[in-house]
Amino acid sequence: MDFTERSDPLSLFNEWLNDAKDKEPNDHNAAALATVDAKGMPNVRMVLLKGHDQRGFVFYTNFESAKGREALGAMKAAMGFHWKSLRRQIRIRGPLEMVSDEEADAYFNSRHPQSRLGAWASDQSRPLAKRDDLVARLQEMEAKYGTDDIPRPPHWSGFRIQPQSIEFWQDGEFRLHDRIVFSRDAAFNADSETGGETGGDTGWSKQRLNP
């Protein structure tokens, strides 16, 4: 079926992500994450998508980093995926919510011990005089916590983008690309949390766009 005829953007996203897993040599789940600072200036950087379901798209960060501060300040973000090998792109926008402590703990504990220690050692986004200082801090954390039962820092957790729009783009010959955007209003997220009538795929509208 032509992807522009699909009615469920979340299942389509899953299919495209799985296609990318088979084609992309590195980090098929990498995405550009856009946030805005207190002055309204945009910021963008690459992150890894660490979960997605009907509720939205999850990434993790240090809340004291620029990314974390901006996410907490605006509680909205955008995410863009580009898979060059497949000539496909997906854009997602929406408000943010924090993941639960249980979700954050489960993901944190799945990470390599050195990555967990790094979450304690790094004052992310803040000035660093020299790399040796970071290495020394990492060694301090290893001496303190070991490499087994490393707790999650209180300033480290995740956000979920609750999508209000998801746009799919497929490269076309002579730049006649295929673009389709799925949209839903903010009421969908609240209703879906409580089992309201607008939950499920009925919350989405679809429109084809000019390339």
Q: Which residues are catalytic?
A: 175
| Residue corresponding to tokens 């730049």 | 175
Contact in structure between 8 and 204 (CB atoms under 8 Å): yes
Q: Beta strands 76-83 and 30-36: pairing type?
A: antiparallel
| Residue corresponding to tokens 């620029």 | 66
Rg (CA), the chain: 19
Amino acid identity for residue 109 in this structure: N
Backbone angles phi, psi at 142, to 5 degrees: -65, -40
Amino acid identity for residue 64 in this structure: E
Number of residues that make up the chain: 211
